Structures are given as structure tokens and as C-alpha cells.
Amino acid sequence: MKRTWVFILLITAASCLFAEELYDRTLYLEGSALRSDHMRFFYDHFKMDAETLGIPLVNSRHEAAYIFKFDVAANLILYDDGTYELAGLEDKRFVLEISLINNEDDEELISFGYLFNDVEEMYEVAQFLFFRAVVYLPPAVFLVDSTESAEAIMLGLPPVSESIPSSTDDNWQNKLLYIRASLGFPITFYNLRPDGLIGGIGIYDGSFASPSRVAPLDNKVMFLPAVTVGLELQFFDFMSLEVNFQAGWEHLNDQDLLNMEAGVELKVPMKFIKNVVISPYASFSAPLPNPISLTPSALGSVYYEENIQSIFAIGGGVQLGLKGGASGSIIVDINFKYSLGDSIMNNHYGYLYPKPVQIHYRRSVIGIGVGYKFGIVNRHDS
């Protein structure tokens, strides 16, 4: 019971540490303007206003939940015959158009304009206009794209566009190398094999045909902690290879054992859901030296040096990654492994039931783990 509570506390602490990153509170600013001084003025103002409100800014459209879009264009007076002319000072020479768009379904939440003559008169107004738009945001935040204004095209002038500088640490899905650490409580099954056992289940003393005493054994199911650390190489956007080390605590035939394995996982990352990576994979693991006994012998002078002779295992699973920072993700891993042969344990009941000398089991594992994966090298710029 204590082990279960320790596991729950560890998982709760890890979840609290990265919980804030799971909420999509992102904004992408981008605009267009006929004049570069207008572009810089409004971009800097809106960026500062977003930071004041604690709205995180991102560097690409697909990562944001909403688009904040602004355009500064000439104020055109259109006549019934289709001609137009630039407005004078009395009619305000420029118009600032602002819109807020839901990036998921392209729904325009609000759109409005504001006329002005010079940026100096906008110092007291720009913040109000920004607040007027973002008040429509739900608990998540937003993003934006640049487009050419119709007025600029009519005047034959190319608009000036600008976006937030890219950040090499925000490309969490496309790192070249990842370091992974996870804690799990795998369910381990040891299915007893009948080799050399009385009635397929009993260890004994005396002869097999006429034993003097018999004690039955049974299948074992364990739910004990294990840790995994690994290094993952993502050599394609759709494929990666992880090499890892696994150490797990097991309890079998009155012994606590530390079982260690080296593993390889070939993954196929799928990134079609925002802020989520789903990676099905195939796995292969090989035993390290025989498990280490953590329990002294209960039979006095008898000391058992060897425990389980592990064998190779194959399997597969699914790893779910949830964005947990600019360079990493919280991972939930579910997998299954099946041993390719018997796991053989020396008979540790030899004082009373010395035969057979070895007991055979067939081992399989359902793995359930939670951890964190941190990217350290960018594979490419997204």
C-alpha cells in the first residue's frame, strides 16, 4: 500500500510541475501596413499589451488557438462611379483594421476599424483597441497571419509585413534528440510451466514417481514499480528510434529481485492533433546480467546466487506525448512485451522441496508509465 501511495505522489508532483503547459494560451501577432513606421509602432504596442496581460506569444500559426490580425491602410473615399481618392486630414488619412479569429474553425469573433491621421494620436488609443479585441478570448489564447490589404493592392504599393522572431526552443515536436525518463507500475505475469513438476504444479522431495512431500506452485502476477531512461533519435518526421535502459522491482518465490533490461523501440510519431504526438511503436529487449536478489536467504546457511535467467522479449505499444514546455512533452506509455522463451529460476525451496532443481515460467508484461521527454537538438526549423 505504501508503494502505491509513493507512486501516486510522484505522478501528482510531475503533473503539477507541467500542468500549466497543457493549457493552450497562445497568441500569434502579425500585421500589414503601407508604411514601415506604422508597422513597427502597432506591432510593438500590441506585443507589449499581450505581455502585460500575460498572453504567451508563439512563432507559428499552427501552434496558436486564435489569430490577432491588424492592417494599417490608406483611408480611401470611394465614389459611385468607381473612382476613389485618398482622404484628407479632415476625414482621417489612415484606417486601422483589427480582427480576432478562432484558428480552429476560422470563425471571426470580432472585427472593427479606427481612423487616424498620425501615430502620435494613437499612444492613448492602441492599448484600448487591443483590449477591446482580446476581451473576446476564452481561457485559451491566439495567433495571426499576414495578408495583403485590398487598399494597398489598389494603390499599387506592397504592404510591409512582420512576424514574431522564431524561437529554436519552441519546436518541441521536431527535435533530433530526446532524453526520456519515466516511472511506471508494469503488470508482470509469470505463468508456471509444467516442466519437471508433480502434476504440472508441484515441487517435491524424493523420487518423481513416489515423492515423500509435495508443495504446489502457482502463476504469479506482480504490480511493482519500474523506471526507464532512454535516448531517442528522430531521424525522420514520421520515424524515430529509442535506445533505453529499464530496471524493475519484482517479487517471485519469496524473493525481491531487481530485473534489468536494455531495449530498442522503433516509433512512428503522428502529429495531426495540436499539442499532441501519438507514437505507436515496436519493441525489442534483451536481458542484462541475471536479476539481483534484494532479499537475503531465509534458510540460514543456504545462499542462492542465481535467480531468473531472463530471455529476449518482443512487443509493442503506444506513447502519448502532451506538450509540456517549449522543448519537451509529458508522456504516457502503454505497452506489451512477451518473452520468446522460458524464464528459468533456481529452486529456492531446496531445503524441503529440492526437486526439480529449476522452475520454468513464461513471462509477459503490460507496461503502464508516465514521464517526461526533453528535446535537446532541433532536427529542422518548422
140 and 188 together in one domain: no
Residue 189: strand pairing partners: 221, 364
**206 with 82, same domain?**
no
Question: Tell me: the pLDDT tens digits for 108-134?
Answer: 889 999 998 888 888 888 889 999 888
Residue carrying the nine cell digits 504516457: 332
Q: Give the number of domains in the chain.
A: 2
Q: Is 67 within a domain? A: yes
* Same domain, yes or no: 158 and 181: no
Per-residue pLDDT at 274: 83
Whether 149 and 251 share a structural domain: no
Indicate if 236 and 308 belong to the same structural domain: yes
In a domain, residue 63? The reply is yes
Evaluate whether residue 13 is within a structural domain: no
Could you identify the residue written with the cell 513416489? 210
Whether residue 7 is predicted with pLDDT greater than 60 in this model: the reply is: no
The last residue of one of the domains, among 128, 163, 198, is 163
Give the domain extent around 111: 21-163
Which of 163, 196, 221 is where one domain is finished?
Answer: 163
The CATH code of the domain that includes 100 is 3.40.50
- CATH code at 310? 2.40.160.20
Give me the pLDDT at residue 295, please: 58
Of 134, 163, 192, the one marking the end of a domain is 163
Q: Is 197 exposed, middle or buried (0-12, 13-18, 19+ CB in 10 A)?
A: buried
**pLDDT tens sequence across 212-240:** 888 898 888 888 889 999 999 998 888 99
Same domain for 276 and 230: yes
pTM equals: 0.52
Same domain, 156 and 184: no
Burial (CB count <10 Å: 0-12, 13-18, 19+), residue 142: buried
Q: Are residues 180 and 141 in the same domain?
A: no
Of 243, 316, 329, 326, give the one whose Cα is nearest residue 280.
Answer: 316
